[in-house]
Structure 1
């Protein structure tokens, strides 16, 4: 037997947004030499912990963003931001 149900209501801020809202300082874990092909060559590249990047921060490439299940490499012509749902958004920028 199927009973249809419809509901609605207000919710608080997303948990991801609450968890990240007080992290404003971007801390470099280390610097690595990374090769970005013939276009950019070798670059000193900062490494960041994904958990340390708040939705207010912008990370300019070149950069490495590490988390437990993945690693994101930002070439020199990209930047990353985090939206309120804690998604990492990569955008190409002109140099």
Structure 2
């Protein structure tokens, strides 16, 4: 089911039809780590984004802010080109890195 999806990519530059997102589109996608909307017409906007996202790339993000309940702890990439998003306060992201086998790297 939708709870096993780990990545979604929409890249359809020649699509004439809009992809309609419902407010609850991502509600049951707790394992979603990669979300990319590059090309294509997207209408509607989600009320929730999964907090497990590591990469969020969305051209023409439809809202002026990210959902209030979006608190990603492992987000590494946030790329919202051609969007009209405004952030009232700095978006704080903690980047976690691990280097297995590289004990001398700090």
- Superposed pair shares fold, TM > 0.5: no
TM-score between both structures, scaled by the size of structure 1 = 0.28
Higher percent of residues as helix:
1
TM-score between both structures, scaled by the size of structure 2 = 0.26
